[in-house]
Amino acid sequence: MNNEKKSNTTIDSSILVSMFVKKEEKSNEARSIVHNLISQNVNVILPNIVLIEVVSAIIRRTNSEKMAFSVFEILKNIPNFNFINVDKNLTEYCCKIAVESKLKSLDTIILSTALFYNAKLISFDKALSEAYAEIG
């Protein structure tokens, strides 16, 4: 594992979904994590696909279109949240990490983004966290 201090952070969709859905088990912890990232102006790097994953999860859990669109607007307007496109270079890297990690595709994209940008990864997903610890 790379022992350099990581100045970037990537957060998994599980954190963002839990933050907005109060009935989620780790909702308070998720809100605290995101609040700290915002208040400390941490550079948060996220693949654009996270927005789709979060909105999809919100609508399934709440059945509220208004909330789903509101969450989308809130997330895309957080100044230190940098949503990046999965370009050719990152796509190739994702394919390499997919083979190595054997994670689901969306988790692979999130893991690959963290690794590609030398970012700390924060996730409630055990398999994703373990893959990051092993590969990162």
**What pLDDT, in 10s, does the model give residues 24-70?**
899 999 999 999 999 999 999 999 999 999 999 999 999 999 999 99
Phi first, then psi, for residue 45 (nearest 5°) are: -110, 120
Predicted TM-score of the model (pTM): 0.91
- Distance from chain centroid for Cα 67: 19
Position of tokens 């909330």?
Answer: 67
Where residue 1 falls among pLDDT bands split at 50, 70, 90?
very low
Burial readout 91-129 (b: 16 or more C-beta within 10 A, e: otherwise)? eebbeebbeebebeebbbbbbbbbbbbebbbbbbbeebb
Position of tokens 């789709």?
Answer: 52
pLDDT of residue 6: 62
Domain 9-135 CATH class label: alpha beta
The residue ranges of every structural domain in the chain are: 9-135
Pick from 134, 107, 132, 130: which is nearest to 120 by CA?
132
**What pLDDT, in 10s, does the model give residues 57-107?**
999 999 999 999 999 999 999 999 999 999 999 999 999 999 999 999 999
